[in-house]
Structure 1
Amino acid sequence: MTKILGIVGSPNKGGRTSRLVEKALAGAASAGAEIDAMYLGEEDIQPCRGCKVQKCWEDGICRLDDSAEPRNRRIKEADGIIFGAPVYFHDINGLAKDFIDKVRIPPRGGGLHTIYLPTNGKSAFAITIAGGTGKGALTSLGAIHWGLFLPCGFRALKPVPATPFNFKKALTDAEERGKELVKAAVNIAPFEEKGLADRIRHFQETDWVNSDFTDDNFFLACAIYEGIMDIPAADRKAVEDIKVHIEKAKQLMDAGRKTEAPAYTALAYEIGRRIWDKHK
């Protein structure tokens, strides 16, 4: 049976990150998978000290932290991975980052190249949740994809970036992505070359992974616009103004004038946030 591991990077069990990952796992279960959940808040994760031993790359065992190897083994044994993390100051939280720093998947002989990794070609997807302002849902995706998925040789499905303004939609997307992950896990597509080029190309082409602050702010403006559309009491003129600002920002971005777009995305967000805070 296909086994899917969901990793909750938040220290708060039962919070938004948990809800999203659990929804994704429910989707995977409905598609026939065996599911497993790892809550990092319940793990004794010690920061990587960058020790000089560095045998961990060969056997997956941290000489300074006995809890690391069992976590690595669960990742290695899973057929697909869901990794969810909250966003603190435009990036994933420290607990999630400490976890990623300690992930070691030993190669099956022959060296440290991707083609020898037991996780090579397995599928995974990321979930980020930027609570509060909603900022950073996209910019935080790089740490998960480049820091965890690339070294493990995972192939990434489209991520699920969540904010308070699109949370309901994100729950639905997470469940659907969980179903997609089960299908992808059945058809493993290993990276064929020893070097990084194949993996780099893959993650460069993955939606939202290489987003900058302008992309993030544009996504956020669109999310808050869609989030206030169903508020009957919202000022229709203000809502229309948001739409106009978003369209102007997109025109600038499409024309290669990306540095000018934040003037409009930020304004759209500010107007939308006032409406949201008043009515939600």
Structure 2
Amino acid sequence: MANASRQAAWEFWGTELKRRREDAGLTQEALGGMVFVSGGYIGQFEQAIRKPQLDVAIRIDGILQTDGFFERMWRKLINASGFTDYFAAAAQLEALATKICEFESVLVPGLLQTAAYMRAVMLADNPFVSNDELDGWVAARLERAKTLKGPANPTYWAIIHEHALRTPVGGPACMAEQLEHVATLARCRRVLVQVVPYTQGAHAGMSKSMRLMEFEDAPPTLYTEGMYWGQLLDEPTTVKRAQATYDLIRAAALSPEASLSLIESAAESYRSP
């Protein structure tokens, strides 16, 4: 489903929610309390700002006695996505975050990837995918990257391991373009990027990835991912531990200035092998 169609589906879902909530004589705050979310969340659903969650849709059906309408609409319209099931909710939250802190030990983070780099990574995991489906995945990820370019873009802090700079994903030309793209974003002060060098040796969070997201009207959230699974966690103790780990990773990294120099040097090495 195209992005415009997905947005229209969200808007339809939100309009119906507002109409049926008002028919039931409930305020956003009242309905939110009944389905265990804030009134602000209900307002964001109705305005098609936040993607509804399936469990909330089911609870709304129960409260408004809509005979499964919102669950059916969620499954048929809302859940269409260019992302895997386990990542779709995290992608939606990215667009609402005021701050994103990310660590990747193997690859350049998705929000910083070029189209060519994305295609190489996706093809490595899905060698028999059709061109149309691959194009859809790339388009969805490029749409995510617009999060960093909009007027309300979040503060974005990425830490990557030097391994991600030295692995020639897609070949030398692809890597040169990718690293030059990261360097350009850093030089334009759209993002802050640090690199953990090989010389650091062992450090916190090795061989893991994490994304910490902060919001204006919701608790901070941690997203972690493994092979074929991903988790969104907002339990305060868990998020606090993840923030402490991120601080340790940041302490092991080069300064932003030294990191930028290393990224540009690596890009040049791909241009002149």
Instruction: Give the alignment's TM-score, normalised by structure 1.
Output: 0.30
Query: Which protein is richer in helix relative to its size?
Result: 2
TM-score normalized by the length of structure 2: 0.30
